[in-house]
Structure 1
Amino acid sequence: MPYEWTEPRPGGPGNAPLEECHLWPFRSLPRRGMVVFIGITCALVSIPLLAVVGSPVLWGLLPFLIIAIGGVWWAIERSYRDGTVLEVLRLWPDRVALTRHNPRGPRQEWEANPYWVDVRLHADGGPVEDYLTLKGNGREVELGAFLAPEERKALHDDLTGRIARLRAP
């Protein structure tokens, strides 16, 4: 799953959170797979060029093929950069904090008292199916919009239980 809870640290050093959850987008194509894909694409594109090797037509086609392969490379790299988003949810006995590290934007932060935090799973009306939000301190923030619907449901159940334990005396 593209989220992971760290183990609670009883009596942790200083002001360390009791629990911490890291959420990240799923990467279906690892870097090694991207290199293989680009290599296979280059090989397949070069097969038709064998017929025009030694003729001026090769020099007319070659720039367009290089631009096409460069465009595919750029698009996949851009996807990797956009996929570097990381959300960190920290739970303390007296507060819940969410930090979102955006790939091309400022870091976003949200904090609230766990007693007033409401974990909501919106079946309809959100930008994605089973939209998960945290509401508290006068704001409602999304959590894990890049997760699959089943993962958001599992995270909702897990997070609801963990926050309920924080509220218990």
Structure 2
Amino acid sequence: MTAGNDFDLEAAEPTLFSALLTPHRSLNRTGFLLVMACVSVVSFAAAIACLMIGAWPVLGFLGLDVLAIYLAFKINFRSAKAYEEILVTPSELRLRRVSHRGHVMEFAFNPLWVQLDQVIHEEFGVERLFLVSKGRRVALASFLGPDEKASFAKALLAALAAARRGPIYHPIR
């Protein structure tokens, strides 16, 4: 057998669905700098006013407020580094969850047996999504909004249905 006759395993297993889910953050770096500049200017002005009336101990508390806001934003930006990767092929559904600290958890399911469980609120829409298979229940797409979860669930269900139909073979004519 020659190298030209070998099977390409990548081509033999087509990708039916692939998604990378990341948390939404509406404030970018420029916006963060503008917010911190505004908070600092207001705090500095208040500190000068307090200093002029003789309330000098307030200066430290105003500085702590600016530091607390800065730390809250930094923690928020750090948590935005988390993501989930979902890959569906005819023989496997793979979920790879990476935390903001870099911890990786991987789950593999057979797409023929996995079910997508949705917790739907009448007023708000899709609240939670779970992959369920063989007694194992794994949460999915927890940081998406209700409309995004509904759209994602629809696409994932279509991919699972395609996986259940089986691969489509195109014979050589």
TM bucket (normalised to shorter chain) is 0.7 to 0.9
Q: 1:71 aligns with which of 51, 68, 71?
A: 68
Q: Give, in whole Å, the separation in 2 of the partners of 1:130 and 1:52.
A: 47
List structure 1 segments (4+ residues) > 6 angstroms apart after TM superposition.
14-17
SS of 1:26's partner is coil
Structure-2 change in CA distance of 1:15 and 1:168 (3 Å): closer
Q: Give the paired residue count.
A: 155
| Amino acid in the other structure paired with 1:136 | S
Tell me what 2:40 maps to: 42
Gaps of 5+ in 2: 1-7, 167-173
Q: Give, in whole Å, the separation in 2 of the partners of 1:82 and 1:89.
A: 19
Cα RMSD for the two superposed structures: 2.6
Q: Which moved more, 1:143-152 or 1:62-71?
A: 62-71
Tell me what 2:154 maps to: 157
Q: How does 1:1-169 map to 2 (within 5 A)?
A: 13=10, 18=15, 19-51=17-49, 57-58=55-56, 60-104=57-101, 106-123=103-120, 130-169=127-166
Gaps of 5+ in 1: 1-10
Cα-to-partner distance string for 1:47-86 (whole Å, 9 max, x where unaligned): 233335689754x333222221011100110111122210
Q: Aligned-pair distance for 1:106?
A: 3.1
Name the larger-Rg structure: 2
Q: Give, in whole Å, the separation in 1 of the partners of 2:47 and 2:162.
A: 65
Q: Give, in whole Å, the separation in 1 of the partners of 2:70 and 2:14.
A: 40
Q: Give, in whole Å, the separation in 2 of the partners of 1:101 and 1:76.
A: 21
